[in-house]
Amino acid sequence: KVATWVATPARPRLVVLVDEGADLITMDSKKTPIIEPLCQVARQGRSRLADLLWCTQKPTVGEGIPSQIIGNMSVRVVLQTAGQTETQQVMGKGWQNHMLPGPGLAYIRGTGRDEEQTPVAVWNASDDALVTALPRREPWRLDRAAAAPPAMPATPATAPAPAGRPALRLVKDEAATAPAQRTEEAAATPAGLTETEAAVVDAVQKAGRPVRQKDVVDASGVAKGTVSKVVNKLIGAGVLARTEDGAIIAAAKEVSA
């Protein structure tokens, strides 16, 4: 399961690096969707061992940084900005990135340090000589042979029979078991839900107990504000319910004999 995936040398964590994010926003269209897949990485990447790095020099172009991406940014490293508007767009009120004395200095939000922190010096990767002096490394590629699960040994359909006894054949009653299995799968997650709604329902069902909204946010990887809206919608639709103390549970289904 991807939710319990453990990184290995053959299949390590993935890093999705977006450079010049503002340009990607202007290129996004219905014919060539770019932003929505990246939003999905931002929402669910934590449970899939995928990290999204969003880089931009123009955080105020269009809608700036997409809300579903900036809402899931746990750490923000911001250099000198053009003005207070750009600073607030990324860091929020109270930060003074536009007042930094020059390039190479940044404020970091999300590590427990507040806006009164001392600026940190970052590596200037615009120096060509510095970049070309880095040790050469081969790009990582997925080793599909090593990442693939081991093949299961083939099981003969007919077991060899001792001398003088009839052979035994293993028969699976697919007609009887398949419908029951499909019924259970259909009951697990109601049909007709969006991907985000299904993720919220799945998080509640897998908990197996009443959960708080914060637990749903952590388990589903969906932004807090989105979870709140989705939960209210699903409660109204009878898919989820709230207990007396405000916890969230999957709504009980009535079964008639």
- The secondary structure of residue 3, as a DSSP letter, is G
How far is residue 87's CA from residue 59's CA, in Å, rounded to a whole number? 9
In CATH, what number is assigned to the domain containing residue 201?
A: 1.10.10.10
Helix axes 35-44, 195-207, angle to 10 degrees: 10
> Which residue is associated with the tokens 């790095």?
53
Report pTM: 0.47
Instruction: Please give the tally of structural domains in the chain.
Output: 2
Same domain, 27 and 128: yes
Task: Evaluate whether residue 169 is within a structural domain.
Answer: no
Distance, C-alpha 108 to centroid of its chain: 23
Same domain, 111 and 195: no
Same domain, 123 and 193: no
In CATH, what number is assigned to the domain containing residue 16?
A: 3.40.50.300
Task: Evaluate whether residue 214 is within a structural domain.
Answer: yes
The boundaries of the domain holding residue 237 are 187-250
Same domain, 10 and 92: yes
Last-in-domain residue among 85, 113, 132: 132
Q: pLDDT tens track of the chain, all 257 residues?
A: 445 567 777 777 788 889 888 888 888 888 888 889 898 888 888 777 788 888 888 888 766 788 888 888 888 889 988 888 888 888 888 888 888 887 788 888 888 777 778 888 887 677 778 778 878 877 666 666 655 655 655 555 555 555 556 655 555 554 444 444 444 444 455 667 888 888 888 888 888 888 888 888 888 888 888 888 888 898 888 889 988 888 899 886 543 43
- Nearest CA among 99, 108, 105 for reference residue 73: 108
Task: Evaluate whether residue 106 is within a structural domain.
Answer: yes
The three-point CA angle 242-246-247 to 5° equals 70
- Nearest CA among 187, 195, 198, 205 for reference residue 234: 198
Radius of gyration of the chain (CA): 26
Same domain, 10 and 86: yes
